[in-house]
Amino acid sequence: MSNRDRIALVTGAARGIGEGIARRLAEAGHPVLLTDVLPEVEATAAALRAAGHDARGLHLDVSDETEVARLPEMVGADWARLGVVVNNAGISPKHEGRRRPVAEMPIAEWRRVLEVNLTGAFLVSQACIVPLRARGWGRIVMITSQAARTKSMIAGAHYAASKTGLMGFARSLAGELGPYGITVNSIAPGRIETPMAMGAASGANEAFLANVPVGRVGTPLDVGEVAAFLASDAASYLNGTTIDVGGGSFMP
């Protein structure tokens, strides 16, 4: 089976890391299904088509279980050709560029972060299990965070909890789906230049950079390269693992 027959669905793909992942997967020959809550997802998909790739944009709120349940219908006949799923959509609320301490965190903000970052990945993965299992081949990739690997000075406790939960969910799912030819792995990015990272207070990214041995912040394509590897046949014996993509800012 070539990548042409393995459609790749990427959540939160209108911009940032999701866009980088979608671009890299498209370059590897996968038809890509870019999904997001932002209407810009159509333009992002159109730019990939203009570059000669097979790409389609679709509105999808990963936290809305009714909408996710409609995915097979929205995608249509292509749903049976699904091969790769990247759970990338995520939020990291900040107030004037800074995280809210737990003592001041409204429960609504806590719940929203868990709903998008963790439950969203559960809903999308659950929906995709059906076509992947039917094919006996699949790749699910979770975009977690360095905040799930060590303390974060930038993201809030809800974000760290959601991303740590995502890694646990990935390991559980890896155990369940391995026998069906489906692997599940996580990528934990360090600091990547995206609208989310640029929302941090001035000085935060510079302070982080001082701890990056390779001397630069990452790009969405740095993450896209690793996602494309995890999606490939070359990665067939990686399952339930986490790859840190942070220039050495975190070394387990």
Candidates 116, 108, 102; CA nearest to 196 is 116
Q: Does 92 bind ligand NAD (CB under 6 A)?
A: yes
**Residues 191-220, mask of contacts with ligand NAD (x by CB under 6 A):** xx-xxxx-----------------------
CB of 91 to ligand NAD, least distance (A): 5
Per CB under 6 A, the list member of 116, 127, 174, 230 interacting with ligand NAD is 116
Q: Does 156 bind ligand NAD (CB under 6 A)?
A: no
Q: Provide the 3-class DSSP secondary structure of residue 149.
A: coil
* Residues 118-142: b if buried by 16+ CB within 10 A, e if exposed: bbbbbbbbebbbebbeebebbbbbb
Whether 159 is a known active-site residue: answer: yes
Amino acid at 222: D
Among 159, 170, 222, 231, the active-site one is: 159
Q: Does 113 bind ligand NAD (CB under 6 A)?
A: no
Q: Does 189 bind ligand NAD (CB under 6 A)?
A: yes
Candidates 33, 38, 114, 41; CA nearest to 77 is 33
Bridging pattern class, strands 138-143 and 182-189: parallel
Per CB under 6 A, the list member of 9, 22, 61, 231 interacting with ligand NAD is 61
List C-alpha distances in Å: 45 to 24, 40, 66, 76, 101: 13, 9, 24, 18, 37
The neighbouring-strand residues paired with 186 are: 142, 242
CB of 206 to ligand NAD, least distance (A): 14
CB of 235 to ligand NAD, least distance (A): 20
Stretch that binds ligand NAD, among 46-54, 69-77, 87-95, 230-238 (CB under 6 A): 87-95
Q: Does 26 bind ligand NAD (CB under 6 A)?
A: no
CA 80 – CA 114 distance, rounded (Å):
29
Per CB under 6 A, the list member of 3, 63, 119, 152 interacting with ligand NAD is 63
Q: How many residues bind ligand NAD (CB under 6 A)?
A: 31
CA atoms within 13 A on the CB side of 104: 7
Question: What are the start-end ranges of the E strands in the chain?
Answer: 7-11, 32-36, 55-59, 82-87, 138-143, 182-189, 242-245
Catalytic residues: 159
Residues lying near ligand NAD in the complex (CB under 6 A): 11-12, 14-18, 36-38, 60-63, 88-92, 116, 120, 143, 145-146, 189, 191-192, 194-197
